[in-house]
Each structure stands twice: as structure tokens, then as C-alpha cells.
Structure 1
Amino acid sequence: MDTITGILQINVVEAKNLPAMDFNGKSDPYIECFHSAEKLFTSEIIKKSLNPVWNHKHNIIIKKSQENYSLSFKLWDWDKASKNDFIGEVEIEIKKLFECNILDKWYPITKQKKDDKVKERGELHIHSKIFTKEEVYSAFWSSIIKHFSHSDDSTLNMTDFIALISAINSHYTEPDIVQLFHKTDLNKDGSISVSELESLFNNTEVGDQLTKSLLSGDPNLIWEAYAQSASPYPTIADNIFDKGFTSCANHSTSTEPTKTIHVHNRETGKMEDEKIPHYIEVSLRAMYSTHTGRNACNNPQVKKLLKFLTNKTGKKYTVPESVKEIQPFIKFHHLNSEEILDPLDSFKNFNEFFYRKLKPTSRPIAEPNNPKIAVSPADCRLNVFSTIHHAQELWIKGKNFTVESLLGDKQLASQYTDGSLVIARLAPQDYHRFHIPVDGVIGSSKPIDGEYFTVNPIAIRENIDVYSENKRVVTKIDSKEFGQVLFVSVGATMVGSINLTTKEGQQIKKGDEHGYFAFGGSTILLLFKKNTIQFDNDLLVNSNKPIETLVKVGTSIGKSLL
């Protein structure tokens, strides 16, 4: 069997004293790296430089049979109008890199001339490091802990452990997981350490089954996940679990890879399935649909966890390396990239893509010159309710939800207690800029700090007070046709940033941009005073079932009764 002997991390740091290949006395160098006949990567082009700096890292899984192979680094000068010019190359035997755990060295760049003489063309600075099996596996288990833990001591509490085991195998019942937690907690301190987790997976029959589920029966998946973690983003565990966004997506840990939410597409008239990656669905159910999970939602530690995850994910999707998630995300969710205003290569990170702008023609506004027609504030899954009481009967199951708790203002709430409600839920794949639903003037905006519970229906239809506990911003819109309308932007798990682009006193038209959410799912609530709006009948019919209606920003949701 051709076993893996280690991971070779290569960092192409820089080059110096390159020859001038262009008329301006400079070069536009870049590097292609080959392992045997396979191209491993192409570096960034550094314009107009003879001493370029790349700091390009790449991890390579090395098998026993490949130790006698070489790595070839070919340097080229990029030309816009003609064929790229070959500068020279560096060839390094892999076995020499394995002789030293860490090697930092300058290598001469050479080019074979027609007379077989070798000419030096500058130097290439390469840093290499070997990661052994012990290091890779230790990093793997630490990463698993880090992925699911919110504590600072690198351990898993009961809630963390439930989420982990459920994400690996959804067939385990809550009592089974609780019992397994106590068996795994060898020192009985109420938490699971890295060594205790390793012991569970490596030394028990249950652990063996969990490992097979986690790795889909392929132990090399640990190596592959590690190899994809050339930088702090993504972590090994991210590569294992984030199946909707990484190239490990084909390694499903369940025979049921996705869960679906049924929505009615208003544009096509058909029912559609909104897919949720399986690991997300089981984690949501572990948190919101189990007795332990629901009780945990009131635990300050769990609320701290959700804030931690939100901040962690926000940082994860703002690093430059996250741009590589854009194309897989588009493919997974079948997004129409032709609608996007800016070129895909203009986004500096995934989050910039997430709150992308669309071409104005892609979202026409319903009857733009008729101010008596209200429109959808977002691309979303929409519910409308003639009364808030009706919404609580059919959709909002939070036991302590009130208009006052939502708005954080008793006097303001008294004006909307008998009013109408729009719930616009944005899934992660949706366009995440939100827009004004009615003509009018922007009033004051009140930010309300809060939690980061998910806005997924799994949680909304449990006894979790999501809307009135989550972070949110309440904006007043003064409309001649609809009276005062409240626009409530609600953040959620993975959405820590609510950004408004309007200002108080600004005259606005329906369809104008009001703001945007950073990465994740999120929700907009619109509150209308009693007897000010008649919702479109198809939306009312679906909401009474209750089924969400998939709509686009700018489409009609109702007309004024004033």
C-alpha cells in the first residue's frame, strides 16, 4: 500500500535579481509549481519588479512512492499583448526537503541555453516544512474541538458535544449523546478535552463508528483537509464540516446530505425545496428541537457561544483567502452571476461578494410611479399576516414574544399591537441588500443589542424568542400612503453586522437601498399600523397554510388602505 509519509508545506517567499524582460527595464514575474507532471499552483503576477515578493503557501501530500520525485518552480514574465517569456526554473528533490524538518534557503534560478550552458537568472527564496502523521492528527483533533467549542480552554461542554456528535451522525438520540458525554468525560470535570476526545474516537467501538461516519470511511480525508489548510483559513475542521462551501463537499457524512424547507416560488408558481446542508440541519435541531438544546438557549454560555461563532465566521469570510469560496458557493446554490453588478474577480473576500450589488435592471420595481403599492424589501421567503396575533398563532412560537419586546419601546409598540406584519427571511444564498418597501421619509433608527439565534424556521417555530432577543435595528419610515411603517432589520447566527445606507430625514422611494447584512441568514420585519395595508391575496393564502413565498425585491406585497 502506498502510504502517506507526511505533508510538505512550501512557501514561495520571494525572488531577487531577476533579469529585465520588458522594455521598461522591469519584469512581471509569476511562478508555476509542478509536482511530477501535475501543476500544483500558479502564483500571483507581481507587476514591474525584479525582486518580487509572493509569500505563496501550498501544502502537498507526499506518499512513499513520491519521495524520489522533484518539485519544479518555473518563473515566467507575463506579457499582456504577446506570449509570456520564460525566465528560468528551480528544481528541488523532495527527499532533500524531508531530510530537514524545516528548511529556509535561496536557490539559483537557471535557464538552459542552446549551447547546453546553464545561465543563472537570479535567486528564489523558498521556505519548506514537513508535517508528520503525529502532528497532522494532533492538529486535527484540536481543530475539531476549536470548531465546536466556544470556551477559551479548548474543551467541549455538553451543548458543544451534542452539536459535534449530531453533525457527525444524526441517528444518535439525545439521551445516547448525553450518556456518551459522561463516558468520554474521564476526569469528570464536566467537559471534554482534546485527549479525551482522541480517546473516544481511537479506543472505543462507538468512536470507531463515529470516525467512519466523520471520514466517510476514508482516513486520508484528514490528510486532505489538513493539506487544504495552507493558511489559517480554513481550518481542518472547517474543511471536514463545511460541506456547502469547500472542496470536501463530496465527502458526505450522511446518506441524507441535505434537509429541505418547502417554499412556493411566486415567479414560477411551483413549490421548491430550499436545501440546507445536512451538517447545518442537524446542528440546528440539536440546538432548537431537543429538550437539552432548548433549555440551553437560555443559558448565558450558549448565548456567548453564538456570539463567538458569529464573530468567528465574520472574520473567516473577510480574509483574502476566502475569495476561493465564491465560485463553489455560486455553483452549490445555482446563483445567476449575470445579475451581479461587479465582476467576480473584483471582490476582495467572500463577505464582499455576499453583500454584492445587483444590476438595477435585474430587480424591476412593481408600479414604480404608484406610491400606493408596497413592495418586498428583499429577495426572501415571505410571510404576511393581517394581525400580529395571527402571526403568533401560525408562525412565531416564541413564548415571550411581544411587539414591545421586539421594538424595545412600550409607547411605540402600543401603536402596532393590532397592526399587520411582514416577515421576510433571507437565506444565505439570497441577495443580502435590503430595500425600502414604501415611498416616504426615513425617520430615526434605533439599534437594539441582542443575541444571535438562527432565523431558520426550525427555530422560529419552536419556543425560542428569536425576533425579540436577536440583535436588530428598528427604523421608522413616514409614508403619506401607509402612515408610519417600521422596518426591523434582524441579525442572526453568523450575521453580526447590520449596515444601514440611508440617513434620517432622507426622502426615499420604494426600491431604494436601505442597507445590507454581512454573511449568514437574516430577517426583515415590516410593521404596519392597523387597517393601513391590504396584502396581496396569494401571499395571504400561502401564509395561512403556513408556507413561505419566495419573492424578489421590488415585487408587490400589498396596497394602501388609506
Structure 2
Amino acid sequence: MTVKALIASFTQQEDLNFLLTNRIPRAGLTRFMGWFSKIENPFVRDASIALWKLFSDLDLSEARKTEFKSLHDCFTRELKPGLRPFDMDPGIVASPSDGIVGAHGKIADTELFQVKGAPYSLLDLVGDPALVEQHRDGTFLTVRLTSSMYHRFHAPYDAHVARVTLIHGDVWNVNPIALKRVERLFCKNERAVIRTHLSSGEAVTLVPVAAILVASIRLHFLDMVLNSQTRGPVNFPCDVNVKKGEELGWFEHGSTIIILAPGDFAFCDGIAEGMRIRAGQPLLRRR
């Protein structure tokens, strides 16, 4: 097969993947999955997990328990104690979750990118001009969780949580295939904007982004689940101090966390797009 034919075949496979995971009733399928995953029936649970293992690299050997009530219980599983030690250097921003490093770099004035050549703006992402100013010319890093990964996320540093804002939106797939085809995808999807400050007063913001099959984000310090069914105010004032490594919540499937940091933070050695990381590993270091 010629190089040209190989490229054409690869493109066709990507097009099929995009068609099967996006050109469907995304919201309806996501609501169905939310309901289905919580069914506490042994046959449904075992068949679902077996099918999941068949089509992914799901590894449950690190799970704290070996029996699950439902598919959802398996998705949001805890790990055995001590498996995700956090780098406790106060000058380090650690990874809040397991994941794959995606787009990252300097924020050009107020512009980021989801893949090279596909920019989006801070204002479209966070929706608040004041927060945009705090991150102008800063640093950003994207961490994508796949469906088989550990789905809980943790505080990447000692910080004070000041506010959480829920921004309602769509549930596009967030895999690289979709990121190349859907402009400003992160700005279109359901997401939460978690505003925190380091002890030094610098703003660091976490933006967990929902995706198809997962439009629910559980935050422990709010004691609630944020999703498309959340009604009423979407701004939640907080006055919570969190310690590095403390569990903040979980996704109910797999998705993405965007980390916005000040400009005086640089990437740690070895951080590169496509690398797999674990919660607690160093991501950013104060210059």
C-alpha cells in the first residue's frame, strides 16, 4: 500500500470514529448512559464491565475494592491507598488526575489552542473578563482522561477555593479526532470553572470539561453533582482550603481538565503532548 493510500485509509478511520461518536443524539445518549450505569443488577453490571474490558485497556488491579454495585460504581472507583503519591514540593503544580497530556504552552495574550492551528479564547472558556485578566499571558495545560482511567481528581497544590461556576453546554467527544474537527470545542461543552488561589495569592484555575457519556462532575466541597439538570444559580461562592493531593471529586466517565496557571510557572522536565501521567506527578514548576 502506498503512503498516499495509507493516509487516505487513516483519514477514513478518523472520519468514521468522529461520525460514530459525535453525529448521534449526544445529549440523549449521555442521559441514557447516566441512568444505565447506575443500574444495580449483577447481570447488567458484569456484562457491562466485561464489554468495557473488551474494547479498552481497563485495569482494575489498582481498585480499592474488587466488587462493584454497578457500572457507575466501577467508573468512579477509589484506588488502594498510597498508589498516587503527590509531589509535595510547594513550588510544584502536580497533575490533578491520571490522563494524557494534550495541548499546552504559553497563553498568547488571551489565546490558547486545543490542537495546533485550532485556537480558542480565555473569555470563551471561563466566561469572566476579570478571570481572563488574571491569566493573561499565563500558562495552560490540558489533561485528557480516557474511559478506562481512574476518574477521580485531586487538588494539585495547597490552595483556597473561592468560587465554582457551572457553564452549561454540549457534550462533544473530547478525543483528538474531535478536537481537530470541532472549533472551540472546550468552549462549547458543559464545564465547571474552579477558581483557586495559592497561598502566595496567585490565581490558578481548574476547568473540568464534560464530554459525551459524561456530563456530570461531582465536587465534594460543594456536596453536589453538577450537570445539565442543575437548575437555579450556576455560581457557587466557596470558602474552602484544600491540601495538595486531597480528593476534589470525580467525573462519571472520562473527560478533560484544563489547568490555567500564572506566567511564572514553567513545564516540568519531560512534559510532552501524548505522554501518560498519573495523579500527583509534577506538571508545572515555579520558575
TM-score (norm: length of structure 2): 0.81
Q: What's the CA shift for 1:464?
A: 2.3
Distance apart, 1:285 and its partner CA:
4.5
Greater helix content: 1
In structure 2, distance between residues paired with 1:468 and 1:331: 32
Residue from 42, 45, 67 that aligns with 1:323? 45
Deviation of 1:392 (Å): 4.4
Q: Does 1:522 align with 2:255?
A: yes
1:341 corresponding residue in structure 2? 64
Q: Per the alignment, in what secondary structure is the counterpart of residue 405 of structure 1?
A: helix
Moved over 4 A (4+): 285-288, 390-394, 396-399
5+ residue gaps, structure 1? 1-172, 174-255, 260-277, 294-301
SS in 1 for 2:285: strand
2:214 pairs with 1:495: yes
2:77 to 349, 356, 359: 356
Residue 560 of structure 1 aligns with an amino acid whose one-letter code is R
SS at match of 2:35: helix
Give the conservation status (yes or no) of the 8 Å contact 2:59–2:148.
Answer: no
TM-superposed CA distance for 1:471, in Å, is: 0.3
The equivalent residue for 1:423 is 142
Asked if 2 retains the 8 angstrom alpha-carbon contact of 1:375 and 1:556, the reply is yes
1:396 offset after TM fit, Å?
5.8
CA contact (8 A) 1:285 1:458 kept: no
Q: Percent identity?
A: 27
Q: 1:501 to 1:404 in 2, by over 3 A?
A: same
Equivalent position to 1:282, from 1, 6, 16: 16
Equivalent residue runs for 1:4-15 within 5 Å: none
1:26-81 Cα distance to aligned partner (Å, 9 max, x none)? xxxxxxxxxxxxxxxxxxxxxxxxxxxxxxxxxxxxxxxxxxxxxxxxxxxxxxxx
Contact 1:441 1:479 survives alignment (8 Å): yes
Q: Does the CA contact (< 8 Å) of 1:481 and 1:560 recur in 2?
A: no
Q: How far is 1:387 from its partner?
A: 1.0
Gapped runs of 5+ residues in structure 2? 1-7, 223-237
CA separation of 1:281 and 1:364: change in aligned 2, threshold 3 A: farther
Q: Partners in 1 of 2:19 and 2:117 — Cα distance? A: 16
Task: Calculate the aligned-residue CA RMSD, in Å.
Answer: 2.7
User: Is this contact kept in 1: 2:21–2:173, CA < 8 A?
Assistant: no
Q: RCO higher in 1 or 2 (8 Å CA, sep ≥ 6)?
A: 2
Q: TM-score, normalised by structure 1?
A: 0.43
Alpha-carbon offset, residue 497 of structure 1:
0.7
State the Cα distance separating 1:359 from its structure 2 match.
1.4
2:245 is aligned to 511
Q: How many residues align?
A: 259
Q: What is the deviation of 1:364?
A: 1.4
Q: What code does the residue aligned with 2:256 have?
A: T
CA contact (8 A) 1:482 1:560 kept: no
1:495 CA drift (Å): 0.7
Do 2:57 and 2:148's aligned partners in 1 also have CA atoms closer than 8 Å?
no
Name the structure 2 match of 1:310: 30
- Written as runs of structure 1 = structure 2, the 5 A alignment for 1:225-264 is none
The structure 2 residue matched to 1:406, chosen from 125, 148, 157, is: 125
In structure 1, the residue corresponding to 2:187 is in which secondary structure? Answer: helix
Say if 1:550 and 1:463 are closer, same or farther in 2 by CA, change over 3 A: same
Of 526, 534, 558, which residue of structure 1 is paired with 2:266?
A: 534
* Distance (whole Å) between structure 1 residues aligned to residue 103 and residue 282 of structure 2: 12
Where 2:134 maps in the other structure, the secondary structure is coil
Q: Partner letter of residue 363 of structure 1?
A: R
Deviation at 1:413, TM superposition (A): 1.2
Letter in 2 for 1:462: R
Q: In structure 1, what residue type is equivalent to 2:66?
A: P
1:343–1:421 distance in 2 versus 1, CA, 3 Å:
same
